[in-house]
Amino acid sequence: MASNKKYWQSVEELKEGSVVETLRNNEFVEEIPTDEFLGDKETLETSSTSRRDFLKYVGFSTAAASLAACEGPVRKSIPYVVQPDNIVVGVADWYATTIADGFDFANVLVKTREGRPIQIMPNKEIGGVTNARTQASVLSLYDSNLRLKEPRKGTTQISWADADKEIIAELERLNAANESVVLLTGSLASPSTDKVIADFIAKYPNVKHVVYDAVSESGTADAFEAMYGTRALPNYDFSKAEVIASIGADILGDWQGGYEKSYAEGRKPELGKMSYHVQIESNMSLAGANADKRIVAKPSDQVYALINLYNTVTGANMPSKATAHDAEIKKLATSLQKAGNKGVVVTGLNDKNAQLIALAINKALNSEVIDVVNVNNTRQGNDTEVAQLLKDLSSGKVKGLVTYNVNPNYSLTGFADAAKKASLSVAISTQDDATATAMQYALPAPHNLESWGDVSASANTYGLMQPTISPIFNTRQIQDVLLKWSGSSVNYYDILKEFWSTNVLNGASWNQALHDGFFKKELESVVTVNDIDINTAAATLVKNTTPSQYELNLYTSTALGDGKQANNPWLQELPDPITRASWDNYLTVSMADAKELGFDNPVKDNGAIDGNYANVTVNGVTINNIPVMVQPGQAKGSFGLALGYGRTQGLKEEMQVGVNAYPFYANGNSIQYNVSIEKASGWHKFACTQVQKTIAGRNDILKEATLKEVLNKKLDPKHTWNKPAMVSYDHQEVEAKTIDLWDEHNREIGHHFNLSIDLTSCTGCGACVVACHAENNVPVVGKHEVRVGRDMHWLRIDRYYSSEVNEKQVEASMTIEEFKAQNPNIANQEVERKYAEKILELGGGDLFAALETSAENPQVAFQPMMCQHCNHAPCETVCPVAATSHGRQGQNQMAYNRCVGTRYCANNCPYRVRRFNWFNYSDNSEFDFNMNNDYGKMVLNPDVVVRSRGVMEKCSMCIQMTQATILKAKKEGRAVKKDEFKTACSEACSTGAMVFGDVNNTEDKVTQLKEDNRAYHVLDYIGTKPNVVYQVKVRNTNEA
Amino acid sequence: MKSVNHHNSLTQVLLKSFAFLLVFLLSFSVHSQDVDEARQKEGKKLFKSLCASCHKLDKKLVGPALSGVEERREHEWLQKWIRNNAELRASGDADAIAVFEEFNGSSMTAFPQLTDKNIDDILYYTTVGEVKKAGDVAAATADASSSKDGGPKWLIYILAAAIIVAFLIIGSLLKTISELKGAPKTPGLLGQTADLWQGIKQNTFLHVLAVIFGALVTAYFLFGTLFKVGVDQGYQPIQPITFSHKIHAGDNKIECQYCHSAAKHSKHSGIPSVNVCMNCHKNISEVADDTKVVLEEGGVVLTKPDLDKEIAKIYEAAGWDTDKLAYTGNTKPVKWVRVHNLPDFAYFNHSQHVTVAGVKCQKCHGPVEEMEEVYQYSPLTMGWCVDCHKATKVDLKGNEYYAKIHAELAKKYGVDQVTIAQLGGKECGKCHY
C-alpha cells in the first residue's frame, strides 16, 4: 500500500545528509555565472576593453539594433510553379506507410507539410505501435551529416551510370569465374524484395544472400526451425496471458521487437483481468521494471532457472544446478500450471538450446499465448552463415561483397579486415558509415520515408511502404539497383505492384491497400511439430554455461537500440527510462559489487552525477574506461552494458558518445561469461536527470495498489488505497479538493480538456517524449546542458524506485492511522516522516539503511510528468507580466512573446515542469543539432513557434492540435466527434496509457477516466486542481 | 496618389483645353472610318464569348490572328469553316487542311449555332477592330487633375497660436506685477521684450513648466516612434512582377479566392502558383491597348508595352514558349516579396476567418481591388486584432459546432449574440503557441 512505501529516485538519496536533500530545495541549481566575469578582479583590470570602449560598444550596438529594428527584413515568398493537386499550402497530409530499418518495424502514419514529413505516429487503426526510435526516424531522414548523398568510388564521386557499368562488369567477371559473391543485408522481411533478390541470384548464380542482424535472435530462429520447420520467430499475444514468465527477455523493450501493446491489453484492472508477470533477470530492464515480481538472477543462474522451471512444470529431470531462486521458481511453476494454456514462458537467452526448452515448456502448457503459425519475420539473421562469411572473406573464398544498410565494420569484430580482401566490395547504404567508407563503392540508398516497399513483419500481415517526400539526395533503392544489375529495365514500383496483385491482394484493391498502408491475409493453420530431444538440449546448455564471478549481460538501450540512429539528437537526449542518463552508455553495476570494487556515483552540488571508470575484459577482449553506473536491482556478479554506442564514422562530434560494446558481443550472444573488471582512474561526467526535478520531498506523488484491493468491491478506495488528501477546514477534516483559495473557473461551457495517464499501462518506453519533441519543436540542448539540469523536455518520464518497509511496521506499536489521530497537529504531508521517525524509530540514516537493503531489488514505477495545467495554477499568480494565463478550455497558456524571463513561475511550480531557454538553440553553432542546419530544420512543425533565448516554455497540452480539431469541426459545421481531440503524447502512446479528451463531452473516454476509482491528482493537497489526472498503479501480487 | 497638383487655374485651363483638343482629334480620326457601332459591338460580344479563348485580332494564339481575315479568305469559305471546320476538312478543302496542319492539328470548335448574321458581325469586328471612345481620355485627364484632401492642419495652428498668446499674457501679467511692486515702467517695445525675457528667466515656476512640457513632448514622440517599430502599415514592396490587383480583382472582377484558393482551407491564403496564372494568361498574352497602371512611386505610368513585358515574365516563370505555344519544362519560380508579415509567435489562420466567420478579405486587406500595387492596409498589431475580436459579434447560425456553446454563452452573458472575445477569442493561447 502506498502509505507503507518509500519512494526514491537515486542511490544517493539513501545516504544520510546527501546533497540531494539540498537539491530538492532549488529549482535552478546552476546560478547565472556572473562571477566568472565579474568576480575576477584581475581579468577585469587587465582587460583591454576600457570603460570608454565599453560605452562606445554599448552605444553603437544599441543604435545599430534600433536601426535594424526599424527596417524589417524583406521576406520572400515563393509559390510552386505547378502546385500538386493534393497539396494545400498550410494543411498537413497524412500517409500510411511502414517503417522497417532491420531492427524496428512499425505500421505508421506520416504527417507531411508541403511535401516534408514532420512527424511519425502509429497507425492505430491497424494496431500499429511505435517506439521512441521509430518516432525519431523522421529526423534521421534529414540527417545531412550522416546520410550518403552521392555515389562514390573510393573517395571520389562517380555517376550512377558509371558505377553500374563498372560493377556489372565485375559481377559478370566473377560470375564467369564462378567466384562466390555475398549479398549481406539486415532483416528485410520484404516479400517483394526477396523476389527481386531471387531474380538477381538467378542472373548471377554465384551470389549468396546472407542476413545479418547486428543484434541477433539467431538462436531463437534456429530453435523454432528445429521444432516447427520454419526459420522465423514465434509471435506472442500477451493479452491472452494470465501468467507470464520471462527469463531475461525484455518483452517491453527490444526483445524481438517488443510486445508492449498486447502486454498492456492483458493488464486492465478495470476489466478485472491482469496478467501476473514474473521477470527473472540480471539487468534492470523495462520488462523487469513493469513486472509484478522481479527475481534478480545473474545470467548463469537464469539458465539453470529455465531448466529448473522446465523440470518443475513437466516433472522431468534435466541436468541443472540448484539456484538461490528455486523456491520462487517452484511457485512460478505452480502459477504457470494453474494458468495452463494461459501461461507462457519466454527467454531472452539467444541460444538455440535455451530457446528449445522455452518452446518445450510452452508446448507442455499448450500455451495459447505463443503463436507458431503467424510467425514473426523481423529477425532473420543467421549467425552461422555470418560466421562462415567472415571465415570465407578472410580466406579469400568470397571474392565479392555487396552490403545493404548494415554496418558490420562497426558491429562485427574482424569484418573490416576480412572485407578488404574482396575484389569487389559495394555498400548500398543510407548512411555514410564505417562500412560505406571502407568499401570500394558506396552507393546511396534512400531513407525508409523516401522508398517504395513492402514489409511482412508477421506472416499474415503485409505493410506497404510509400515515399512521403521526393528523394533529398541522389539515391536509388536497393531493389532498383539489383534490377538494373540483373539487366532488367522494369522499375521496382511496377514489380511491387505486380507482386502484390499476384501474391498478396487476392483481388482486393491496390489503392485501398496503399491508403491503409496495410493488408491482412488469412493463414492456414497447419502446424507440424518435430520431436526434439530436450535432454540433449539441456545437457548442451549446461555444458556451455560457465558461471564466473562476474558475468556480462549486453542489452540494447531504449534510446539507441542497435545504434543505427546514433546520429539522431532526439534519441541521444532521450533519458534512459531506468537510469535517466542520456548521451551515454555505461556499465551497470549492482550496489553490492560497487561497494566491493569501489565504484561510486557522487552527486555534484549542481545535481550532476559523476561515475568511475572501469576496464572490462571479456574472453580476452578488453575495453577500457567504461563509465560505471551503480544500478539498484542489478544482480550481484553481473554487469550490464548497452550496445549501439561508441560510433564515430560520420557522426557529429557531440554524438560520438559512449563505448562500442560490440567487440564483447561474440557469436551474437548477449550473455558473456569470464568477465574481469578493474577500476580505472578518473571521473566520468554523466548527463543524468536522475536527481534533478525531484518534487521537494512531497511524497503524495505516486499511488499504488494491489489488484486484490482494486477488485475488492467492499473496499471504498477513498478510505483505503486511493485516499484523497484531507485538510482541516473550519475544524473539520475535509477533502482538499473541496477547498478553494481562489474563485472557481466556470468550466461548464465549451470544451474542458483533461489528460488521463494510467500508471499501470505506462511502460516507460519514451515514445511520447520523442513525439513531443517533434510536435512542439522542443530543442535539443546537448550533453553538458542536460548534465547541469537545463534539459528542455516538456514531457519527462519520472522513474521512482520504492521499497517496502512493511516488516518494521508489523511490529510497530501503532498504525499510521492511530498515530495521526493522536497527533492532529502534524501537517498532513509530514505524517509519514514523523511516523517513521517516532514510532518505527527509523531515524534518518536507519530509515535509509532499511531502504537500502531492499534496494537490492526495488520496485519501479514510471510517471510521465508534464505541465499539469492546474485550474488554480501557482505559476500564473506570480508572473509579473501575466505571460502565463489560464484558458477557458483548461489549458495553462504560455505567451512566449510576453515572457520576460523572471523564472518566478518555474520556482513556484510544484511539479517542476517549466523549462527555461537559457540560450538560443536554433541557428546557434554552440548547439549544432537539427535546428542549426537547413536540412534538420525541415522537421520543424510550422504551427508551433521556435522559442528564443530568455523565455520560459512548457507543455501546452498541444493547443495547436486542439485548436486545429476545433477549427476542423467549425469548418465542417458539426460538433466535435467522440474522442476526436488528441495530443502528440496520447497519439504516440501505444499502450493506451495516455488518454486525452474533453470532459464536458460525456462520450469522451477521458470523462469516465476522470471519475474512475483509480483517478487521482498528483499533490492534490496543494489544491492546484490539475487537468492531468493519473490512474493509480496496480500490481498483481498474485495473492489470490 | 503622389501625382503633381496643379497650382493655378491657368495651367488647369490650358491642360484641359489641350486634352479637349486631343480628344477631338482622336474622335475625329475614329469617326473618319465611319464604323457601324452596333454591328461592331455585336460582333465584339460574340468574338469575346466564343473566339477570344483561342484567337486574338493581332496576334497568333492557339489559332491565327484574325485581324483582316476577310481580306485573306473568301467570305463563303470562312462561313463554312466557322460553322464546322471538320466537315470542311473532310470535304478535302486544301486551304482548310493547310490551316489545320499549320496549327499542329489542333482542331477548332464547331459553331453550328451561329447564324449568318452572327458570323458576319464577328467578321465585321475582326475587320474594323476596336473603336476608341472619346470620353475615356478626357476622364483619365480629369482624374489626374483631382487634388488631394489636406489634413486638419488648422488645429495645429490654433494650438500654436494659443500657446503664443498664453506666453504673451503671462508676460504682460508679470510686467504688471513688477510694476505694482514699484519697479520703474520700462518704455519701448524692445525694452519690454527684454524685460519679459528677464522675467521668464527668473521665474522658477515657468522653468518647471517648461521642463514638464519638454518631457511630455519628448515622451509623446518617443512613445509614438517606438510603438511603430515593427508596425509596417503601408508597406508596399516592389514586386518581381508588377501585378495589378486593380486590373484583376477590380476591373475584371476575379474572385479573390480564385487565385488565393488556400484561404478557405488553410492558415495561409496561398500565393497562387504560376499554373493558376496560366489558366487565363495562356490566352491573354497582352493587355488591352488603353490599359494603364499608375504606380505610386514617382507617379510612373506603365502602358501597354511595359505591361505586356510583365505578362511575359509569367511565361518565363512557367516555361511557356509563346511561339510554339507549349511548355518547355524550363521553369523559374517567382520570388514574390511578402507584404503581410506576422511574427512567428503569432498564429493566424485564414480559414477560420474566411470560411467559418465569413469575413470579407477587404476587412483586413483593404480595398485590394483598387490597388495597383498591394500595400499593407492594416497595422496588424495585436491591439488591432483584439479590438475586432471584442467588437465583432458571432453570427453562426446553422453551424452545428456553435449550437450548444453559443446558446450557453449567450445565456451566461445575457446577450443575444456573443462577441468573439466572449467566446474565448481574447485568450493569449489562442494565437500564441
Taking an 8 Å cut-off on Cβ atoms, the answer to whether A66 and B229 are in contact is yes
For residue A66, what is the nearest residue in chain B, using CA coordinates? B229
**B21's grid cell:** 483638343
Q: Is the dihedral of CA B160, B165, B171, B174 positive or negative?
A: negative
Taking an 8 Å cut-off on Cβ atoms, the answer to whether A91 and B266 are in contact is yes
pLDDT tens column, B125-174: 888 877 655 444 444 444 444 434 444 577 788 888 999 999 888 888 88
**Residue of A83, A750, A898 lying closest to B424 (CB–CB):** A750
Amino acid occupying residue A102: G
- Chain A residues in contact with B275 by the CB 8 A cut-off are 80-83
Closest CA to B347 of A76, A896, A960, A116: A960
- Does the A548-688 domain belong in CATH 2.40.40.20? yes
- Chain A residues in contact with B340 by the CB 8 A cut-off are none
What does the DSSP assignment read for A607-622?
S-EEEEEEEEEETTEE
Closest CA to B380 of B356, B354, B358, B348: B348
pLDDT band at residue B353 under the 50/70/90 scheme:
very high
Taking an 8 Å cut-off on Cβ atoms, the answer to whether B276 and A966 are in contact is no
Residue B272 confidence (pLDDT) above 60: yes
For residue B398, what is the nearest residue in chain A, using CA coordinates? A973
Taking an 8 Å cut-off on Cβ atoms, the answer to whether B424 and A887 are in contact is yes
Per-10-residue mean pLDDT for chain A, 1040 residues long?
A: 59 65 62 59 66 79 68 83 89 94 94 94 92 95 94 94 95 94 95 96 95 94 94 94 94 90 92 92 94 93 94 89 89 92 93 94 94 93 94 94 95 93 95 95 96 93 94 96 94 95 92 93 83 90 92 95 94 94 94 92 84 94 94 93 94 93 92 94 90 52 88 86 85 85 81 95 94 95 92 92 59 62 66 63 52 71 94 93 92 93 93 93 92 94 93 95 94 92 94 94 93 91 92 82
**Residue of A75, A88, A887 lying closest to B341 (CB–CB):** A75
ipTM of the complex: 0.84
Q: What is the 3-state secondary structure (H, E, C) of A799-811?
A: EEEEEECHHHHHH
**Residue of B272, B335, B345 lying closest to A78 (CB–CB):** B335
Q: Nearest CA of chain B to the CA of A884: how many Å?
A: 8
Give the helix, strand, coil percentages of chain B, each rounded to 5.
55, 5, 40
**Residue of A885, A889, A969 lying closest to B428 (CB–CB):** A885
- Averaged pLDDT for residues B57-69: 79
Residue A549 pLDDT: 93
**Residue of B345, B355, B405 lying closest to A971 (CB–CB):** B355
Cα angle A708, A709, A714; round to 5: 110
Taking an 8 Å cut-off on Cβ atoms, the answer to whether B341 and A72 are in contact is yes
**Residue of A90, A748, A974 lying closest to B267 (CB–CB):** A90
User: Interhelix angle for A299-314 vs A352-365, to 10°?
Assistant: 30
Q: Nearest CA of chain A to the CA of B176: how many Å?
A: 50
Interface test with B, best of A62, A70, A71, A83 (most B CBs within 10 A): A83
* Residue linked to cell 539594433: A65
Contact A143, A567 (CB under 8 A): yes
Q: Nearest CA of chain A to the CA of B359: how many Å?
A: 14
CATH class, range B37-128: mainly alpha
* Residue linked to cell 500450471: A337
Taking an 8 Å cut-off on Cβ atoms, the answer to whether A749 and B403 are in contact is no
Mean residue pLDDT of chain B comes to: 81
* Residue linked to cell 523454432: A224
Positions of CATH 3.40.228.10 in chain A = 218-374
* Residue linked to cell 492546474: A870
Contact A997, A1006 (CB under 8 A): yes
- Averaged pLDDT for residues B80-107: 80
Positions of CATH 3.40.50.740 in chain A = 152-216+381-516
Interface test with A, best of B271, B338, B345 (most A CBs within 10 A): B345
- Chain A residues in contact with B429 by the CB 8 A cut-off are 885, 887, 891, 893-895, 956, 959
* Residue linked to cell 554524438: A655
Taking an 8 Å cut-off on Cβ atoms, the answer to whether A970 and B356 are in contact is yes
Positions of CATH 1.10.760.10 in chain B = 37-128
Taking an 8 Å cut-off on Cβ atoms, the answer to whether B333 and A79 are in contact is yes
Instruction: Give the range among A605-609, A768-772, B77-81, B286-290 with minimum mean pLDDT.
Output: A605-609
Q: Computed over its alpha carbons, how large is the radius of gyration of chain A?
A: 29
Interface test with B, best of A81, A794, A956 (most B CBs within 10 A): A81
Calculate the alpha carbon distances from A784 to A687, A691, A749 in Å.
Answer: 7, 16, 46
Contact A740, A1022 (CB under 8 A): no
Residue A835 pLDDT: 65
* Residue linked to cell 466527434: A977
Positions of CATH 2.40.40.20 in chain A = 548-688
Q: Please tell me whether residue A44 adopts helix, strand or coil conformation.
A: helix
Give the span between the Cα atoms of A732 and A729, in whole angstroms.
Answer: 5
Phi-psi region of B292 (alpha: psi -120 to 50; beta: other; left: phi over 0): beta
Residue A307 pLDDT: 94
Residue B366 confidence (pLDDT) above 90: yes
For residue B408, what is the nearest residue in chain A, using CA coordinates? A749
Residue A415 pLDDT: 94
- Does the A753-799+866-1035 domain belong in CATH 3.40.920.10? no
* Residue linked to cell 571521473: A683
Give the span between the Cα atoms of A972 and A970, in whole angstroms.
Answer: 5
Q: Give the fold, CATH level 3, of A152-216+381-516.
A: Rossmann fold (3.40.50)
- With a CB cutoff of 8 Å and minimum separation 6, the contacts of A771 are A119, A121, A135, A984, A985, A987, A988
Positions of CATH 3.30.70.20 in chain A = 753-799+866-1035
Taking an 8 Å cut-off on Cβ atoms, the answer to whether A945 and B272 are in contact is no
Q: Please tell me whether residue B406 adopts helix, strand or coil conformation.
A: helix
Q: Give the fold, CATH level 3, of A218-374.
A: Dimethylsulfoxide Reductase; domain 2 (3.40.228)
Give the span between the Cα atoms of A606 and A250, in whole angstroms.
Answer: 34
- Chain A residues in contact with B398 by the CB 8 A cut-off are 973
Residue B410 pLDDT: 83
